[in-house]
Homo-oligomer: A and B are copies of this chain.
Amino acid sequence: MEKLQALLPILNWGGDYRKDDFRADVIAGVVVLFITVPQVIAYAFLAGLPPEAGLHAALAALVAYAAFGSSRTLAVGPTAIIAMMTLEVASSFATPGTQDYATVTVKLGLVTGIVLLVLRLVNFGNVISFLSHAVVTGFITAAAILIITNQLPAVVGLSSSADTSVVGVLSYLSDNTVNVVALIVAATAIVLLVFCRLQMEKLLLSMGLGQVLASALARSAPMYVVIIGILVTAFLGLNETHQVPIVGTIPTALPGLALVPLSLTELRDLLPSALLIAMVIFMESASIGTAMASRRREKIQPNQELVGLSFSNMGASLVGGFPVAGSFARTVVNFSSGAHTQMASLITALLVLITLVGFAPLFYYLPKAVLSAIIVISAMQLIDITVIRKIFSFNSTDAVTFTFTFVAVLVLGVESGVIIGIVISFVLLIRSSSRPHIAVVGRVGDSEHFRNIRRHEVITSPSLLAVRIDESLYFVNTRYIETFLFNEVADKPDIKNVLLICTATNFIDASGLEMLEALCENLEEVGVTLHLAEVKGPVMDRLKETDFYHRMEGEVFFTTDLAFKKLAGI
C-alpha cells in the first residue's frame, strides 16, 4: 500500500479526504478556471496553435498531474515560456498554422513526456540542477522579450511574421499596414489588465470585500478583458467592419485521441529539444511546487514530480495538445484561493471540459489582439528587475552568466542560448574552485577560535604555518594549493610545521591525495612536517585506508586548538 501511495500520490490525500477539504477545493477550482481559460487559449495562440489545443492540453494535464504529481497545489498546463519554446522547436519542422505543425507539437509533447519519464528512471530529480539561477533569469528575461516581440504583429492586427527575430519582426511591422482598430482593442486590454493588476485588489478591499475574494477577483482580470473583448467585437461587428482578426470557431466537442505515429527518425530529431524543454519544465514546476509545499510543511518528491509532469505531457499529447508545465500564475491563485489538494485541479479540469462542450462558441468573437494583450502582460511579469539587480550586485560570476545567456537567447534563440548559458555557468564554476580561498589563520585571543590573520587580530607562531583551505582538494585546485604552500615555506625559513585545517574539505580525490603525499614527502626533505586538523568524518574514513595516512610523520588533530597547543605551544 505504501509503495502504491508513492506511485500514485492521489491515494495519499484520497483516503482521509473530508467535506471541509472539498469545500475549499471547489472554491479554488472555480477561481483558477477564470484565469486558466484565457491563459491557455492565449498560450496556444503564442505556440502557433488553435485555442482548443490549449484547452485540451490543460484538461489532460490537470487530470494526469492530479493523479501522479506530488504537489498538492501545483496547477499544470500550457505556460508562456514552454509555448514559446514549442513555437521555436516546431517552427523548424513545419509552418505554424498548418496541420503538419500541429502534429509536430503533439509529437513534441509525447517525446517530452517520454524524456521526463526517462529522467525519473535515472533519478534525475535527486541529481543535478544544471540550470543556475543566473542562467534561468537570463533565459526567462530574454524569452519574455522574444514573446513580446513575437506578439507585436498580432497586437496591430497582422498575422505572425515569418522571421521571428527581433529585427525581423520590427522590419515586418514597418513594411505592413497597421490595423488601428485592432491596436486600440489590444491597447485597451493592456490598460485594463495593468489596472486590475495594480489597483483592483486595493479598490475591492477598500469597498469592504474580504482579502481572498478581492484577490481572486483581481486575478481574474484576463477573464474580464476576454468577456469585454468578445462583447464589444460582437456588437460592433469589428471583425467585419474593420477586419479585426478573431479566434473563430472552436469545435464544441470532447477532445479526441490524437494517436500520432512517432517514427524513430522523428524521435531522434525531437529528442535534443525535448530534453531541454523537459529540463525547463521540471525546473519551473519543481521550484513553484517546492515553494508552495514548504509554506504548509508539506513535502515534494522531486522524482515523483517528474512522473507527474511526464504523464501530464503524455496526456496533453494524447488529446492533441502541446507541452505543459506547472504554471506560476495559476498555482499561486490556486494556493491563495485555499486549495487543499489536487481535487481543486480536478474541479478546474471538469469546468474546462464543460467550457469546451458548452461554451466554446461564445469565444467566436474573441479578438486575437486581446489574446496578445494577455500574453504581453504575462511576459512582462516574467521580467523581474529586482532579481536581475540582485544578480548583478551579489556575484560577478552570475552577472557574466546572466549577460551571456540573455544575449545568446536574444540573438541565437532559446535553445542555443540556454545551452551556452549552461556551459558558461559550469566553466566559471570550475574556474572559481580552481583558485580556492586560502586563509592563513591564528588563534583569536585565548579562545578556541581561529581566524584569518588578515582579517582578525590573532596569535601566530613563526614555526607554524596554519592554513585553512576553503575548498575540497581535487584535481582542479591541487596545483594551486601546492604552489601556494611551497611558496609560503620557501619564503619563511622558520617554518617547521605546516597545518592544513580541513573544515571546508568535503572530499579529496586521487589528485588531492597525490598532492598531499608529494607535499608531505617534499616538505620532510627540507625538515618541515605536515599535519592535518578537523578532517570530516567521511573524508577521514577514506584517508585512514591510505598508505599516506600511515606513513605521514605529522599528526591528524581532532581540533585546531589541540594542534596549536601541541605544535606551537600557543
Closest CB-CB distance, A253 to chain B, in whole Å?
A: 41
Check A486/B299 contact, CB under 8 A, given A425-B475, A522-B291: yes
Point out the residues of chain B lying under 8 angstroms from A493, CB to CB.
Answer: 297
Point out the residues of chain B lying under 8 angstroms from A437, CB to CB.
Answer: 506, 536, 538
Contact across chains for B506 and A436 when beta carbons are under 8 A apart: yes
Closest CB-CB distance, A12 to chain B, in whole Å?
A: 13
A429, A518, A523 — most chain B CB neighbours (10 Å): A429
Contact across chains for B506 and A503 when beta carbons are under 8 A apart: no
Complex interface residues of chain A between 348 and 406 (CB less than 8 A to chain B): 387, 390-391, 393-395, 397-398
Which stretch (A32-40, A129-137, A316-324) binds chain B?
A129-137
A504 at the interface (CB under 8 A from B): yes
Copies in the complex: 2
Check A546/B390 contact, CB under 8 A, given A128-B430, A134-B509, A486-B293: yes
Which stretch (A19-27, A216-224, A264-272, A477-485) binds chain B?
A477-485
Complex interface residues of chain A between 207 and 235 (CB less than 8 A to chain B): none
Closest CB-CB distance, A279 to chain B, in whole Å?
A: 12
Contact across chains for B430 and A132 when beta carbons are under 8 A apart: no
A559 at the interface (CB under 8 A from B): yes
Complex interface residues of chain A between 465 and 518 (CB less than 8 A to chain B): 470-471, 474-480, 482-483, 486-487, 489-490, 493, 503-511, 513-514, 518
Closest CB-CB distance, A70 to chain B, in whole Å?
A: 11
Contact across chains for A475 and B129 when beta carbons are under 8 A apart: yes
Query: What interface size band does chain A fall in?
Result: 35 or more
Which stretch (A75-83, A164-172, A448-456) binds chain B?
A448-456
Point out the residues of chain B lying under 8 angstroms from A294, CB to CB.
Answer: 482, 486, 489, 518-519, 522-523, 525-526
CA–CA, A511 and B510, complex, Å: 30
Contact of A127 among B434, B506, B558 (CB under 8 A): B434
Contact across chains for B490 and A132 when beta carbons are under 8 A apart: no
Contact across chains for A510 and B395 when beta carbons are under 8 A apart: yes
Contact across chains for B132 and A474 when beta carbons are under 8 A apart: yes
Check A479/B290 contact, CB under 8 A, given A394-B542, A398-B509, A525-B295: yes
Contact across chains for A490 and B298 when beta carbons are under 8 A apart: yes
Contact across chains for A390 and B510 when beta carbons are under 8 A apart: yes
CA–CA, A522 and B298, complex, Å: 11
Contact across chains for A290 and B486 when beta carbons are under 8 A apart: yes
Q: List 15 A-B contacts (CB under 8 A).
A: A127-B434, A129-B476, A290-B518, A294-B518, A294-B526, A295-B522, A297-B486, A299-B490, A390-B510, A390-B546, A390-B547, A393-B546, A394-B546, A426-B430, A503-B503
10 closest cross-chain pairs (CB), A and B: A132-B475, A133-B511, A294-B522, A398-B510, A470-B506, A133-B510, A128-B434, A503-B503, A295-B525, A504-B504
Question: Which residues of A are in contact with B by a Cβ distance under 8 Å?
Answer: 126-135, 137, 286-287, 290-291, 293-300, 302, 387, 390-391, 393-395, 397-398, 425-426, 429-437, 439, 448-449, 451-452, 455, 470-471, 474-480, 482-483, 486-487, 489-490, 493, 503-511, 513-514, 518-519, 522-523, 525-526, 536-538, 542, 545-547, 558-559
